[in-house]
Structure 1
């Protein structure tokens, strides 16, 4: 599936204004990745409410809040925007090039070409790996012909490390926080795609049973990781 023309990611400024909440359904068998740019209209989208702001310890209703000494927060690790060129996951022997995935007018995000089993895609209009925000990397678990690049993704565990080589010559390294599997009709969009002040990555593929009638898997596997 060919990508439409777009500006090079290294030259494109990050999106401004309110960020969309992405809802993704990865349909590996059909080589099809869907992003709902307005998930509020999707009945399957689960929106998590923001937690209430806790009052300072010892404060009572209506009482003035005591002055708190301001402390400078340590600088958070992140890199400038740069297009990813190669994904390296040593534990499962992944060494794969990237392709840009663009959102089509239908709201669908084109998937990596199904005829190349060693290829991953990234949401090119979102944060790049290493940039502040949540970067999305998707790959097939299999295709109609054979196993694909993310067939071993379920073997990853907390503490494992993977790397992204970037067009600026830097290698961004990420440590895995956790790996979870979600039913596609109960996908937690806020948890996976919510805004973050850190440089984070989500690796996404299909999982669960294969539904022959729907010609798709029943679940998505998501790897949560952050830049180190």
Structure 2
């Protein structure tokens, strides 16, 4: 009889423990954790949280980026007060230098077409009431004579005739001031695309002025004995 009573009491005790454990698992929403571990914080229904061991970074727009090895990858801080501005390096050659500006002509000067020009001398002509000397040239007067060997000939008249024959009454374009009709003026002129002064000096019908640009053309004409530097024509 004693064994039967002990077995009944043990079964009743185990049954009571099972009912208590089932009640704890079903009735509550809390988990049974081992002793010594902290309980996780409560969270709202539907909220998703990352695992505690995963690092979370805010990648929303406008948030600062995460910095990695800033002392190695990023440039070090720079103190602007320690920067010194120095003069730029000179060009390696003269080709790198800017050319000086050309001397501008006065504002009231302009290109003017002069029709039906007539040569007065080897490098001077009249047209439309104006008298123009070709700039950069030294005129050979119509009364001048030239000597070549034993021959003396009227090179001044011949030079004027050569100038007239070359122009043939065609209009010359000259750079003139508006009041050039009041006096004779030296001006650069062109006939079409040809420089009048260059043609006169290169063919020996005028000489280059000391301050002009036709010095080389005169040297060529002298060596070739052209115009006034050659035999009678």
User: Which one has a bigger Cα radius of gyration?
Assistant: 2
Alignment TM-score, normalising by the size of structure 2: 0.20
The structure richer in helix per residue is 2
Point out which structure has higher relative CO (alpha carbons under 8 A, 6+ apart): 1
